[in-house]
Structure 1
Amino acid sequence: MSSTKKSNHLLKMIASRSVQKSFRIELYAVLFCCMLTGCYQSESGQHEELQEVAIGVTSTYQGEAATYIAKERGFFELNGLNVTLKENPSGKISMRDLIDGVVQIAHVAETPVIYSIMDTSYFKGSGHPPFQIFADKIYSHDIQKIIGRRDHGITEAEDIVGKKVAIYQGTQLDYFFDSFLLEHQILNSEIEIVNMSPEKQIEAIKNGEIDVSVTWEPYSSYIQKELGENAVHIDTDLTYSTLWLSVALNSYASSHPDILAAYLESIKMAQDYIRENPSDAQEILARKTNVPLDVIESLWTEIDFELSLSERMLTLLEDQARWMIRNDLADTTIQNMEELINFGPMEQVHPIGITVVR
């Protein structure tokens, strides 16, 4: 088999969800050549330069599994991309990097997206360039958790009154925690809020510097493991779905539609790989997030890795927009959430994932 036919053959096998041990040696040989030469073999058989793209990712988030796998297993290169991952502590930093031109694609939850549109003070200066959502990469409804220290007198929700509560502000946790407080009729003024990243919360609650951690997986389970029997998971009746959106500036998307499609094809390959090779995917995520493997394994079924643009996404965005208005956090409004969405790349790569009624 010629090198051109072999490359095309491998691409088709991977795209059809058949990453198998029998041809991994061939796959890695092709990838190694790609990395050495800085080019890839297109469907036409022509050698083309890899296209550079920087992606803002959240290094502390389980939802990035497909991105790390696409990078480590060479799926980006197979689709003609030379990807640089800029690791940030949260999606809100990646969103700011997108607006500042540091990255071309940002991975971000729904709350920073709504903040950046409806609160002009969220990022310094007003009138930032318009952006668009072109994919959601996960489905989950149990990512955020609230963990307290039993020896600090916390056994149930009402016990957090008067306590020091750590939360990473400006992220999806704002909406989640505000809904939790409303559920239990607790006022913000009745607790001491500390703005703290998920990584810092681990040591802070271990050392007793804070009483309660409001964070996301895998760090909430990591905290529970570190505290052992002293950890209290404060239950909530909330069923809060989480989005993990792919966002680009309008100007970039209009001039680089091929890159957005290649990026989505790479993520889709990685999601297929996750389903077929869960053990390897878990090891990669544990290494990249610096979280123990047994913690990652215990959480694996809590996230479905699937590309989509759904009515669920629109509903959650609209709910959070109303939440901002209700809490006087907004200085502008959005008439139609669907105007934020670019359906083009998903229509090309994974049209079955589009369930928005248009």
Structure 2
Amino acid sequence: MKQFQLSTWIYSLLLALLLAAQSADAADVVRIAVPPTVMSLPVYVATERKFFEKHQVNPVLIECSSGQDCIKALGQGKADLASSSELPVMFAAYDNNPISVLATLVTNKDDLKFLVSRNLLQNGRLSLAGKRIGYVPKSSSHYYMDTFLLFKGVDPQQVIKVPMAASELPQALQQGRVDAISIWEPMAEQALQLGGRDIVQVDAPRLYTQTFNVSVRNQFKNKHAAQVRGVMKALSEAVDYIRDYPSRAQALLLRKKMVSQEHIEKNWNEYTFRMTLQQSLVSTLQGQARWAKREGHVQNNLPKEPEYLNYIDASFLREHKSDQVDFVYR
């Protein structure tokens, strides 16, 4: 009888220890929404190099088709953190989503591309009025499309805008369902490969400097500040690793079959990997907010644009790298 009681006690103790360990692991889990782009490289590096685990974070990556979908998942509570360009954050602020940008991880002045069917070029001149243009709504693709059209002297209201998922755009252009697309890398490269000589990239000056940021759900950062600090430290190490060992970081992209070696050789220097919060981020958000309201992408009855400083939390980056936080956030 005593032996049975002892065995039962040992079993109960082991079960309690197992449940406690599982509970601890679950408490450290952080769901990070990530779009498949070179700009997400710091997240991929931190995952592969185990930087997250080094700082007591158990990452679960949630793949999204675009940064806009990642921010949507964040607002819906399906992710704890998300990486995206600044533009989905601008729209999220108009919707009063309780999220905050923690840091910019990457900037690029040439990540967005405007691709057209070759038959739009008539005697070397581009004809866009009345044409169907594919884009990802409420994303950097959307903003770049309008910016590009205005630069070319085309009223954005004079084209037929065709919203679709980012993953659909290359094939839609190749199949002739649209006449042009506004898209980021590596989707642009995929479209050029699919279309061959029938698809052309339209050259343009660097119209838009895209920032790629990590954002957090406010409820999560308030309840799990230690995990957020761990994520920030891991991403900081990843950014440093990319700068110190670029060939190894590039090899990771190739293993994931995200881009080609040719793309890396041609475009790598356009990416600036640096963890920071610059005043220009607020200025960009404010400019995009005015664009969104002017073009009717948000409700016109809204009283005023959001106060974007309320959607940026510099405290975590300031704690870790105070010299990388501009004065406007202090």
SS at match of 1:235: coil
Aligned twin of 1:275? 243
Q: CA deviation at 1:173?
A: 1.6
Q: TM-score, normalised by structure 1?
A: 0.78
**Partner AA of 1:74 in structure 2:** K
Secondary structure of residue in 2 paired with 1:243: strand
- Shift in Å, 1:308: 0.8
Q: Hey, what does 2:186 align to over in structure 1?
A: 218
Q: How many angstroms does 1:216 deviate by? A: 0.3
Equivalence for 1:355: 326
Q: What percent identity do the matched residue pairs reach?
A: 25
Corresponding position of 1:251: 219
1:302-341 superposed matches below 5 A: 302-331=270-299, 332=302, 333-334=304-305, 336-341=307-312
Kindly state the Cα deviation for residue 293 of structure 1 after the two structures are TM-superposed: 3.2
What amino acid sits opposite 1:220 in the alignment? A
Which residue is 1:141 aligned to? 109
Letter in 2 for 1:346: L
- How large is the Cα RMSD of the aligned pairs? 2.4
Q: 2:254, 2:196 → 1: CA distance?
A: 20
Contact preservation (8 Å) 1:285, 1:296: no
Per-residue CA shift, 1:211-238, capped at 9, x if unaligned?
2121001221333344444432212335
Cα distance in 1 for residues equivalent to 2:123 and 2:163: 23
Q: Would the aligned equivalents of 1:218 and 1:291 in 2 still touch at CA under 8 Å? A: yes
Distance 1:156 1:334, change over 3 A: farther
**8 Å contact from structure 1 (residues 91, 112) kept in 2:** yes
Is 1:205 aligned to 2:173, yes or no? yes
Q: Is 2:50 the counterpart of 1:74?
A: yes
Q: CA deviation at 1:152?
A: 4.7
Structure 1 residue runs of 5 or longer lacking an equivalent are 1-37, 40-47, 121-126
TM-score, normalised by the number of residues in structure 2: 0.84
Q: Distance in 2 between matches of 1:343 and 1:225?
A: 41
| Aligned twin of 1:111 | 87
Question: Which amino acid in the other structure matches residue 87 of structure 1?
Answer: E
Where does 1:2-41 land on structure 2 (aligned, <5 Å)? none
Q: Does 1:160 align with 2:128?
A: yes
Instruction: From the superposition, tell whether residues 153 and 134 of structure 1 become closer, same or farther in structure 2 (CA, over 3 Å).
Output: same
Alpha carbons 2:46, 2:234 under 8 Å: kept: yes
Secondary structure of the 1:146 match is strand
Q: Give the match for residue 124 of structure 1.
A: none
Question: 1:56 and 2:39 equivalent?
Answer: no
User: Could you tell me which amino acid in structure 2 is paired with residue 68 of structure 1?
Assistant: Y
> 2 CA distance for matches of 1:338 and 1:235?
34
What's the CA shift for 1:113? 1.2
Q: What is the aligned length? A: 304
Corresponding residue of 1:5: none
Q: Would you say the 8 A contact 2:80–2:217 is kept in 1?
A: yes
Q: Pick closer, same or farther for the CA change 1:154–1:74 going to 2, 3 Å.
A: farther
2:69 paired residue among 88, 93, 115: 93
Q: In structure 2, do the counterparts of structure 1 residues 174 and 154 end up closer, same or farther at CA, with 3 Å as the change threshold?
A: farther
* Structure 1 pair 335–193 and aligned structure 2 pair: CA distance change class (3 A): closer
| Aligned-partner Cα distance in 2 for 1:66–1:293 | 19
